[in-house]
Amino acid sequence: MSKKILFIYSSVDGHTLKICKHMMAKNKSLATMNIHSLETVTPQDLDSNEIIVIGASIRYGNHRKELYSFINKNVAVLDKKNAYFFSVNAVARKIEKRSPEVNTYIKKFKKSVKWSPKKIQVFPGKIDYPKYNFFDKHMVRLIMYFSGGPTDLSKSYEFTDWKEVDRFADEIIESDI
């Protein structure tokens, strides 16, 4: 019987979802893959998959608070599974801020949940200025300006290293259940 993997995403603009779908496509012949947003996943979904991968993006310095309440509510079942977490943010475009040990948002994550995932990964996300509303566009540009990032409002910038995503997907598929 093939492994069953459940991807759960917390995504505002769709990039975390894209990363989940990339991982699903990479190993689709090796496991049964299921995917749900944080809003639609049910306790039955958690129960019926051996491997659980939760991915969440950062906005204005935080993962969504619903992510923390979801994890803390389901920590008992997550602890029984092979469960992984990844965070998607723009700060991680800088290699020295990408490792989970130094990434600010992972430090906050660890303080906010009672769960220790089997592995935590950080992926650089995407800045998609044309897609943002006026306020977000200018706020993100300000954040980028102060951190030495790109500021051309007419462009999109994808920082994700897809080979890194592939490696994470391979680790997940190889995990013993």
Ligand X SMILES: Cc1cc2nc3c(=O)[nH]c(=O)nc-3n(C[C@H](O)[C@H](O)[C@H](O)COP(=O)(O)O)c2cc1C
- The residue ranges that bind ligand X (CB under 6 A) are 11-16, 57-61, 88-91, 125-127, 132, 136, 139-140
What's the rounded Cα separation, in Å, for the pair 18 and 104? 23
Query: Which of 18/81 has CB closer to ligand X?
Result: 18
Q: What is the DSSP string of 43-101?
A: HHHHHT-SEEEEEEE-BTTB--HHHHHHHHHTHHHHHHSEEEEEEEESGGGSGGGTSTT
Q: Please give the helix or strand (H or E) that residue 163 lies within, else none.
A: helix 162-174
Residue of minimal Cβ distance to ligand X? 125
Give the nearer residue to ligand X in terms of CB position, either 11 or 49: 11
Nearer Cβ to ligand X, position 48 or 69?
69
Least distance to ligand X from the beta carbon of 53, Å? 14
In angstroms, what is the minimal distance from the CB of 50 to ligand X?
25
CB 122, CB 103: distance < 8 Å: yes
Question: Which of residues 28 and 59 has its CB atom nearest to ligand X in the complex?
Answer: 59
Contacts of 123 by beta carbon, 8 Å cutoff, 6+ apart: 19, 86, 87, 88, 92, 160, 161, 164, 165, 168
- Give min distance, CB of 146 to ligand X, in A: 11
| Minimal distance, residue 149 CB to ligand X, in Å | 9
